[in-house]
Structure 1
């Protein structure tokens, strides 16, 4: 392509970083590196060891387009079409929330229970409500080979992406999808019910970071007037789908711990165990039925 002559990798990276910095991107060096590596098929090691490596015009054109989208506010992982989560590469679609590192807290919170259940019963059935990319379920399956999971979502596009991710990761045989509004079409009983539900109060969505507000699906963000509606639904309906000693694990907004705990206590659950995220905020609550 005459418009884009080949360029050396080192200067290309520096130019990309400067362009994103000028656009006010939060972490211009990181995002520039991801974009350049992705479209040029190079690695970080090559950038350091071989900065004079020539990148062809087609790759330069693709990098130029991606940098323009990033400078315009589109999140870098939306542009690349994937996100790393718990060591897994998950493809994204417009119908799926981009999985965040904070949600890895939920995986860590229930993993010991999943392992213990498998050790005791040889199986652990997981229900992932609002599965999106499949992140929570697939992370657990990747670590515990005897576990199985069902991913539930109201969005057919999200379920197609979750199933595709499961297949790409070699986990398709242990992952099934159900299109359902919460528990509407769910059947059977599970040892773990996990959810990263929409928990932003409707009125706060306009104040979110542009990257979240403009690119994450609203369905995956809006938790109703006070942000707590999904927790009320889960607390009220989960018992029919939970094994006797099962656990419910929910991600929460960092100010919602007490409110969500109250909702589950009122529905007959013991007080939740609280797990903090990387920033030290309350991020995950794990509940079990109160013993009478």
Structure 2
């Protein structure tokens, strides 16, 4: 490409390339990647678009567009994703934080808590956000993946809660004994036969272990509910993120597991997204 081309011309060509590759929201992604390649604030991108693009920026941008055309997520390309007003490091080893998970945060913050356990913590975005929003709380993030735990620790440091967050390698609650008044989890809830229907960004690039239980999508809920009774304090809360069709099933599992005050809560799009329940008084 000619270095004399303006940002607007380069951006238009990139949008055309991504669109031809079948990438959804090509214009949005191209703008994000051009801002990143240019080192510009995304909100000020319009100011630099009339200017010629340097060879260095062009090389970086071409490389990013080539990777995005293979459906590699934008968050992987720029290394971060915004969640609940904060930035989190994202790699191929963790699930990409999603806007719908913010519903779980809102539900958890409705009542006070002092000790929170985040199961399958991944990037740590849930635990870290809860600690940042509740400066008096401490928490533990558990994950079976050492690589995910390393990302979570860096995110805790990045968001200045590492003095109140501990990260442990554990298969759900297998190695956890201390009591908590809040347990949260966004477990793998995609059924094995649903994986083929996921977008390529998710299916080909995000960790399969964080997406599916390789069964009916409910295995993790069954395990966590059974284990939670031994870790949650009396009247402690258990809060799950769920798939939009799983509300009734997960709520019933909670009731069968002895939890009370079980509710299914929708996200901003009106889809079932969170199930919450409490342990009974001792």
Please indicate the TM-score interval, normalised by the length of the shorter structure.
over 0.9
| Matched residue, 2:47 | 49
Q: 1:21 offset after TM fit, Å?
A: 2.0
Matches of 1:47 and 1:164, distance apart in 2: 29
SS at match of 1:172: coil
Task: Select between 201-210 and 93-102 the one with higher mean Cα deviation.
Answer: 201-210
SS at match of 1:272: strand
Structural mapping, 1:111-260, within 5 Å: 111-113=109-111, 116-117=112-113, 124-260=114-250
| Matched residue, 1:120 | none
Query: Structure 1 unaligned runs (5+)?
Result: 118-123
Q: 1:45 offset after TM fit, Å?
A: 4.2
Matches of 1:101 and 1:229, distance apart in 2: 24
* Contact map agreement 1:10 1:47 (CA 8 A) in 2: no
Matches of 1:41 and 1:55, distance apart in 2: 12
Which one of the candidate residues 36, 39, 61 is aligned to 1:38? 36
Query: Structure 2 unaligned runs (5+)?
Result: none
| Runs of 4+ more than 4 Å apart | none
| Matched residue, 2:15 | 17
Matches of 1:247 and 1:197, distance apart in 2: 16
Taking structure 1 as the reference length, what is the TM-score of the superposition?
Answer: 0.92
* Contact map agreement 2:238 2:278 (CA 8 A) in 1: yes
| Matched residue, 1:86 | 84
Matches of 1:265 and 1:188, distance apart in 2: 24
* Contact map agreement 2:259 2:277 (CA 8 A) in 1: yes
Taking structure 2 as the reference length, what is the TM-score of the superposition?
Answer: 0.95
Task: Select between 5-14 and 54-63 the one with higher mean Cα deviation.
Answer: 5-14
Q: 1:16 offset after TM fit, Å?
A: 2.0
Q: Which has the higher helix share?
A: 1
Residue 214 to residue 45, structure 1, CA distance change in 2 (3 Å):
closer
* Contact map agreement 1:74 1:215 (CA 8 A) in 2: yes
Q: 1:6 offset after TM fit, Å?
A: 5.5
SS at match of 1:287: strand
What RMSD, in angstroms, separates the aligned Cα atoms of the two structures?
1.6
Matches of 2:43 and 2:90, distance apart in 1: 26
* Contact map agreement 2:120 2:187 (CA 8 A) in 1: yes
| Matched residue, 1:283 | 273
1:200-244 deviation digits (Å, cap 9, x = unpaired)? 112221222211111111110112421111010111110111121
Q: 1:291 offset after TM fit, Å?
A: 4.9
Matches of 2:76 and 2:60, distance apart in 1: 15
| Matched residue, 2:104 | 106
| Matched residue, 1:67 | 65
